[in-house]
Amino acid sequence: MANRKNILLIALGIILLVIGYLCLGKGPAENPVSLTVAPIILVLTYLVVIPVGILWGKRQQESQK
């Protein structure tokens, strides 16, 4: 069951990365979406969502061995 959650979290991370990069490339350079929202989405995705997707359930799997 942990493998399915991992895949879903990593897929969510990939979707958020695409959304973040699309927001980053949208509009002029002074656009608030490309200056604030996109970097926040990208940083949270790279630092939280994808690592949680990779590490989710590792502790439970190690303790069962």
Length in residues, the chain: 65
**pLDDT one-digit tens code per residue, 8-61:** 999 999 999 999 999 999 888 888 889 999 999 999 999 999 999 999 876 666
pTM: 0.81
Q: Where are the domains of the chain?
A: 21-54
For tokens 């350079």, the residue is: 29
Residue 34's contacts (CB-CB under 8 Å, 6 or more residues apart) are 23, 24, 25, 26, 27, 28
